[in-house]
Chain A
Amino acid sequence: DTGVSQNPRHKITKRGQNVTFRCDPISEHNRLYWYRQTLGQGPEFLTYFQNEAQLEKSRLLSDRFSAERPKGSFSTLEIQRTEQGDSAMYLCASSPRDRGDTQYFGPGTRLTVL
């Protein structure tokens, strides 16, 4: 399967714990995006990488959230001191060079904070 992959697919954690998600984009795509989707809402943009550089961050990305893409390939999204309001589906997408409008989404990581 050469699509976008995300791990884990599901994560249940207790409030206050740290969690980390991983995204592996389509191999030739240099752009990588993170989105968050809550029930009844469309996905909301969180942050964007071009290669290893993080070029854009939404105001939704509080100080407890950090994303990295150290070698310009896979990316991680870490949430520190999780809160119940962090419960959501976290989606990763990638796009080819110069085609930010053509994004392919991974299956998402569903986070439940108890």
Chain B
Amino acid sequence: RKEVEQDPGPFNVPEGATVAFNCTYSNSASQSFFWYRQDCRKEPKLLMSVYSSGNEDGRFTAQLNRASQYISLLIRDSKLSDSATYLCVWYSGGGADGLTFGKGTHLIIQP
């Protein structure tokens, strides 16, 4: 089983719609979780951290379910500028092994 699994998409969503992604992880010792955003041919950038209690930042909501080992990202009122690849990421702690990334989910917001 791969360490982090994501549906690669693409997800084609009309502007203004709500879209949700899930990501499953296999390492139960994973300490921290994040969603990164990556635009085409650019570096990944931190979108938000993910907590068990949920984390909301404007139109974005992230959730962690440790029992089922998945994290989710919800985008409300999607904008054309939300078109990007969204990478699910976990970190085991201690500096070792760096960040572990999923393959990413490609989102296309259509006008």
Contact residues of A with B, CB < 8 Å?
31, 33, 35, 40-45, 48, 50, 55-56, 58, 91, 93, 100-108, 110
Contact = CB atoms under 8 A, between A and B. Distances in A.
Contacts of B103: 40-42
B96 A56 contact: yes
Interface of B: 4, 8, 31-32, 34, 41-46, 87, 89, 91, 93-104
Contact of A100 (B4, B8, B34, B95): B95
A55 B97 CA distance: 9
Contacts of B32: 101
A107 B42 contact: yes
Residue of B41, B46, B95, B96 with highest tally of chain A CB at under 10 A: B95
Nearest to A56: B96
Nearest to A46: B98
